[in-house]
Amino acid sequence: MKQTILLLVSLLCAVQAGAQSWQKLFNGKDLQGWERLNGKAEYKVQDGAIVGVSRLGEPNTFLATKQTFGDFILEFEFRIDEGLNSGVQIRSESRKDYNNYRVHGYQFEIDPSARAWCGGIYDEARRGWLYPLTENPAAQSAYRHGVWNKARIEAVGKSIRTWINGIPCANIWDDMTHKGFIALQVHAISDPKDEGKTVAWRNIRICTRHPEKHLTRETAPEVNCVPNTLSDAEVADGWVLLWDGKSTAGWRGAKLDGFPRHGWVIEHGVLKVCKSDGAESANGGDIITDRKYRNFILKVDFKITEGANSGIKYFVNPDLNKGAGSAIGCEFQILDDDRHPDAKLGVKGNRKAASLYDLIPAPEQKPMRKKEFNTATIVVEGKRVTHYLNGVKMVEYERDNQMWNALVAYSKYRDWENFGNAEEGYILLQDHGDEVWFRNIKIKEL
């Protein structure tokens, strides 16, 4: 009997401790503790919920907590009318020295459109998409239209993870902002028929007391947003950095014994190809890894300048081409499709960005960010190869078969014997005479 009483007391204490870990951010009656920022869209309390009303001609409007939060678990329910877009800001800021108080920071996306990116993570007014649900397509069915949905956000240290209705949606590792307010968004609208539509939130609560003790085990695949680093999860999963962000270690010129003495610059965590005359491998020259790779997942962040041309090559054999021009290998094309003349050459766009250069075109519609860093991902599993751009599949093919050899025979690579069929090769970053930036180069061998 005594043991039973002690057990019941222990359980009661645990329940009370759990309850004390949470606090309400909305009292269900008024907007005490909140303030409106940036726009003049309406926020009101109705039936125990905060309701945001869209207004034509207004910019994105935010209802922000007056209190700031660092590490926490946030839970809330939300419902949104079709045709609108919205979100919930976390660790966000509004400062005069940043676009005159423009709200910026991490946003839990609320997106009822056909794109179905609800629960993704967007970096409002800064870097754009950090975790579109192309990174986790299984989560695109988590949101339920026309009813209340339950959201959960866990922000502890560098980790920010999201769920909708218990389904893992997004998972990033980032260190840009460690603390800030929470805010509810009424997105700007351009169509008069959307005026007066609403988005609503209720049962908003937060846990700030030892949130690390209440983390959810089941999560979405992680995306590391910290350049030139590996997260704990990446290290455990077998990823390694191909570039350390500060030296030339691990790389050499494709036609040199060492790293090029000019034409490449390392600054502020970026490996930069210097602008020259636009010729292929005629300045510093291409650079390659110091060893070969066979089956792998390769990720490279790149940013182009206006009119730029470059590429990421794999299965490279630097001994094939001893003369002028680039080393020979399969190429993930990097190009300013709008400004560089190469975009109009080749066949059906097979020289445009994210294409398998001169062989297989990427789709015309692609998530290319010309003024920001993009992520190229190349997956090699035996004879099957896939290109991704910012998490979206661009090209998929099989090599070393009759169809592949016929494709090569009608390309600029027809004179290179057995092109693309090697079991292994070097990885290459191309100098094509234009300024292009690289960072966050990492690989996982399969």
How many of the other CB atoms lie within 10 Å of CB of 346?
18
- Report helix, strand or coil for 276: coil
- The DSSP bridge pattern shows strands 72-80 and 149-156 to be antiparallel
Residue pLDDT tens, the chain, 446 long: 545 444 443 434 344 444 558 999 999 999 999 999 999 999 999 999 999 999 999 999 999 999 999 999 999 999 999 999 999 999 999 999 999 999 999 999 999 999 999 999 999 999 889 999 988 999 999 999 999 999 999 999 999 999 999 999 999 999 999 999 999 999 999 999 999 999 999 999 999 999 999 999 999 999 999 999 999 999 999 999 999 999 999 999 999 999 999 999 999 999 999 998 877 777 899 999 999 999 999 999 999 999 999 999 999 999 888 777 889 999 999 999 999 999 999 999 999 999 999 999 999 999 998 888 999 999 999 999 999 998 889 999 999 999 999 999 999 999 998 999 999 999 999 999 999 999 999 999 99
For the entire predicted model, the pTM comes to 0.83
CATH code at 22-224: 2.60.120.560
Domains 22-224 and 232-445 in one fold: yes
What are the residue ranges spanned by the domains of the chain?
22-224, 232-445
- The DSSP bridge pattern shows strands 86-93 and 104-110 to be antiparallel
CATH match of 232-445 with 2.60.120.560 = yes
Q: In angstroms, rounded to a whole number, what is the distance separating the alpha carbons of residues 187 and 52?
A: 9
Phi first, then psi: what are they for 265, rounded to 5°? -130, 140
